[in-house]
Structure 1
Amino acid sequence: MSSNDRPRPIVIKYGGNAIVDTELTREILNKIVKLHNEGHKIVIVHGGGPFIKENLELAGIKSEFIGGQRKTDSKAMKYIEMSLKGEVNGKIVREINLLGAKAVGLSGKDGQLAIAKRRYHYDENNRQVDLGQVGDVEKINTEIIELLLDNNYIPVIATIAAGSDGNDYNINADNFAGFVAAALNADELILMTDVDGLMMNPDDDATIITELKTNEIEDLIGKVIKGGMLPKTEACKYAVDNGAERSIIINGTKPDLIEAAIKKQDFLGTIITK
């Protein structure tokens, strides 16, 4: 199928508390399978922070965080890959298949889907700090994703990728999903989080920003956009600026929002466009 004939897919970044709640996971995946059966082409990208934390603790590996990012050596990387690819990815694929659709589990390493590069942190004195095997996406190859979508599979992607230096890297799931959405020229990037969207005042749900242009984001960084919302908003901006139609931040604990967002109905969340 040529790129002109192919319907624009929807990329869903699945994470937050929703990923550890079995009943909620089933509800969300049931919605996704329903939408898939209606003809929507859906790609799932997932992280798995709670599972990584638990498995590292069970292995007796202490986590060191620098600038909010987990420093990752080769030993920790083995447990991170086991958590993401072996545990979380397998769980999502199994549930989708039980619901009657066909899911295929992947990581960025499969078919060179993603090429990673090492990420560095810069401290308050602008000194470069090595985070180990923490990476950013350098390139997405869409061939394997499009092959699966064209054959009515749901790709489920764990955010591990290999670098051209021969190392494996753990990549922030928001960052990964943003790059996938851009590369696929997605109709939507949907980021599931634990809040209703981007707030002017994080302590007041009534201050939700329902619509935002990508050129307005820079002025809000450090004021309204900070903490965990920063990588999410940056991923949304990157996706829209590089090929996706729109990006959406919604509360992943409310499964009905996924269907409303994909069907472009009214819903509570933040929509980011050009």
Structure 2
Amino acid sequence: MTEAVSQEAITKAAALVEAQEYIHQFAGKTIVVKVGGSIMDQPEDLRAVINDVCFMASVGMRPIIVHGGGKGITAAMQQAGLEAQFVQGRRYTDERTLAIAEHVLTQDINIEIQNMIRDRNLDPMGLHSLSSCAVFAKRLFLDGEDGRKIDIGFVGEVEGINNELLNALTQADVIPVIAPIARDKAGGKLNVNADSVAGHVAAAVHAEKLILISDTHGIRTSDAEDDLARHLTKTEIEKLVDTGIITQGMLPKVESSFIALAGGVRKAHIIDGRIKHAALLEVYTDTGIGTEIVL
């Protein structure tokens, strides 16, 4: 028994020694963490991710959280008797859909994440259309086959980020929690893709890292299940997009990563939040656990 306990203690000590270098390296640096996918529907998984983010804050990093909630919005729409409609992969958003999306994102998910942070004795602040807004957007129109623009309702694309507000909050040891309901120049509300928001936020605050946490292990370089890439450049990813290896749900994540990298972020990471302590393993160990993206 003593021998087993001693080995467990040695393993924990070794992990702390390995993490120490990274803790010193990233102290005082801003990190943007986007949480989405099925993680949002699993309270235990979500809490585990938020606890890891709180650990980062406790050892000197300055985290900013951006969250999605697409499945929750779809479920709430079904309860209201509305059927979700998608155009080129984008949710068509009329006034009723926008109202539902705003409630789910700002009142349900955002407040839940804030409470999880408070449970760790840290200070969060929700930022969205019903509070201080840090994300500003304009209406998004899709390109049609005939060259005409397609109106998909109250859907936006990021036009600006209040980086001064975000920097002031993180320097005061407050963790911003951003829901992707933005304001336009006229004060109207727009639903924006959360991956895109995270990329623009990371670029605006000159974050050290962007971490995209969902229910995927990372980027595969072929159709094989175990062909996970640990490190990819922008050029390598563009080739995977051209050959059809990267498609659908992964596209917004790589586009978000490119936005962040173009804004000066050193690295972006795509990791699976269902793996215990995935964020800490990616940031504070030599090997990492997902896909690391660089220019």
Fold shared by both chains (TM-score > 0.5)? yes
The structure whose residues are more often helix, as a share, is: 2
1:220 aligns with 2:220: no
Identical pairs, percent: 33
Deviation, 1:112, is: 4.4
1:36 aligns with 2:57: yes
Maintained 8 Å contact 1:16/1:252: no
1:141 aligns with 2:187: no
Gaps of 5+ in 1: 1-5
Gaps of 5+ in 2: 1-26
1:170 aligns with 2:195: no
Query: Quick one: distance in 2 between partners of 1:250 and 1:266?
Result: 13
1:189 aligns with 2:189: no
1:113 aligns with 2:131: no
Q: Describe how 1:1-274 pairs up with structure 2 within 5 A.
A: 7-107=28-128, 110-202=131-223, 204-222=224-242, 223-274=244-295
Query: Quick one: distance in 2 between partners of 1:189 and 1:49?
Result: 20
Report the CA distance shift for 1:126/1:12 in structure 2 as closer, same or farther (over 3 A): same
Letter in 2 for 1:53: T
Aligned length: 268
Deviation, 1:100, is: 1.5
List structure 1 runs of 4+ shifted beyond 6 angstroms.
none
Query: Quick one: distance in 1 between partners of 2:122 and 2:225?
Result: 36
SS at match of 2:226: helix
Letter in 2 for 1:174: D
Q: Determine which structure has more spread, i.e. the larger CA radius of gyration.
A: 2
Maintained 8 Å contact 1:184/1:243: no
Letter in 2 for 1:96: I
Query: Quick one: distance in 2 between partners of 1:103 and 1:166?
Result: 24
Deviation, 1:19, is: 1.2
Deviation, 1:163, is: 1.1
Maintained 8 Å contact 1:188/1:245: yes
Query: Quick one: distance in 2 between partners of 1:272 and 1:13?
Result: 15
Letter in 1 for 2:161: I
Deviation, 1:217, is: 3.0
Maintained 8 Å contact 1:108/1:115: no
Superposition RMSD in Å: 1.7
